[in-house]
């Protein structure tokens, strides 16, 4: 495991196009095939995922049509 590949919930949210990092925990419950954190220090503490696993999973979500496009802000 390369240290540079570890990302937190903020980075996971950015890769998945989520508007808030708290949504990552919702995704963990909604999508059982979501990669598990490589580092999980327990409830309320840091979780770190491997970037390549999240990137591969994002591609699978997109292929399966399981993503929502971010809505543009009204002008």
The CATH number of residue 20's host domain is: 1.10.10
pLDDT tens for the chain, residues 1 to 75? 788 999 999 999 999 999 999 999 999 999 999 999 999 998 889 999 999 999 999 999 988 877 665 444 454
Residue 22 per-residue DSSP state: T
Note down the domain range covering 16: 3-63
Q: Determine, yes or no, domain membership for 71.
A: no
Instruction: Work out how many domains the chain is built from and give that number.
Output: 1
Whether residue 39 contacts residue 46, with contact meaning beta carbons closer than 8 Å, is answered with yes
Q: Is residue 43 part of a domain?
A: yes
Report if residue 14 sits inside a domain. Answer: yes
Residue 68: the pLDDT is: 60
If phi > 0 it is left, if psi is from -120 to 50 it is alpha, else beta; for residue 2 that is beta
């Amino acid at each position: 495991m390369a240290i540079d590949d570890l990302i937190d919930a903020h980075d996971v949210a950015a890769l998945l196009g989520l508007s808030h990092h708290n949504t990552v925990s919702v995704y963990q419950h909604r999508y059982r095939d979501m990669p598990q954190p490589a580092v999980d220090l327990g409830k309320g503490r840091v979780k770190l995922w491997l970037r390549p696993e999240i990137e591969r999973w994002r591609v699978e979500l997109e292929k399966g049509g399981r993503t929502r496009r971010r809505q543009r802000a009204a002008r």
